[in-house]
């Protein structure tokens, strides 16, 4: 498991990949002081946190089925968080300041607190050709 408490950087992509045929998850503490901005150009353009899912050795498993991203007010993530084989919980108030780009791909998602996802600045954060996102509502 990758535990984030204090981490700052621009042009950063963190990739969790296979070690001993297991892939870890991420845990960002509620009091974490984290500011991570994805690179806006290059091979990992727009990717900020990635759980490897490509070309893995046979028999690779995930060490845990869930990841948590929390963070103190002011904690910032900009870019795509890609965890296609894990459940993801957003808790607290990680923000999307700066380019205003925070997207999530996960097996399942739970959003609690003041967390927000945003696409407004994704082109400047390195993510282009995004699909349209439609909002659905359940009415009785």
State the pTM of this model: 0.77
| Whether the Cβ atoms of residue 115 and residue 92 lie closer than 8 Å to each other | yes
**pLDDT tens-digit readout, 39-90:** 888 888 888 888 877 666 677 666 667 888 876 666 778 888 888 878 888 7
For residues 24 and 1, the answer to whether their CB atoms sit within 8 Å is yes
The pLDDT tens digits of the residues spanning 116-126 come to: 677 888 888 78
Instruction: Report the C-alpha gap between 40 and 114 in whole angstroms.
Output: 26
Residue 140 has pLDDT above 60, yes or no: yes
**CA–centroid distance for 46 within its chain:** 11
Nearest to 82 by CA among 57, 59, 107: 107
Residue 1 pLDDT class (50, 70, 90 cuts): very low
As a residue count, the chain comes to 140
Task: Give residues with Cβ within 8 angstroms of 138, minimum separation 6.
Answer: none
Half-sphere exposure of 75 (CA within 13 A, CB side): 24
Q: Is 106 a residue whose pLDDT tops 70? A: yes
pLDDT at 52: 77
Average pLDDT (94-110) is 74
Closest Cα partner for 14 from 41, 42, 40, 37? 37
pLDDT value of residue 134 = 59
The reported pLDDT for the residue numbered 139 is 63
């Amino acid at each position: 498991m990758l535990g984030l408490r204090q981490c700052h950087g621009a042009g950063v992509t963190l990739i969790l990949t296979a070690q001993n045929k297991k892939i870890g998850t991420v845990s960002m503490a509620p009091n974490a002081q984290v500011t991570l901005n994805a690179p806006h150009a290059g091979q990992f353009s727009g990717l900020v946190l990635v759980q490897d899912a490509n070309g893995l050795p046979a028999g690779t498993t995930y060490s845990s089925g869930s990841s948590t991203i929390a963070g103190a007010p002011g904690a910032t993530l900009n870019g795509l968080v890609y965890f296609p084989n894990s459940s993801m919980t957003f808790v607290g108030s990680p923000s999307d300041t700066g380019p205003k780009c925070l997207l999530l791909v996960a097996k399942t998602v739970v959003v609690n607190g003041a967390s927000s996802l945003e696409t407004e600045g994704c082109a400047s954060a390195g993510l282009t050709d995004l699909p349209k996102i439609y909002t659905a509502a359940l009415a009785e």
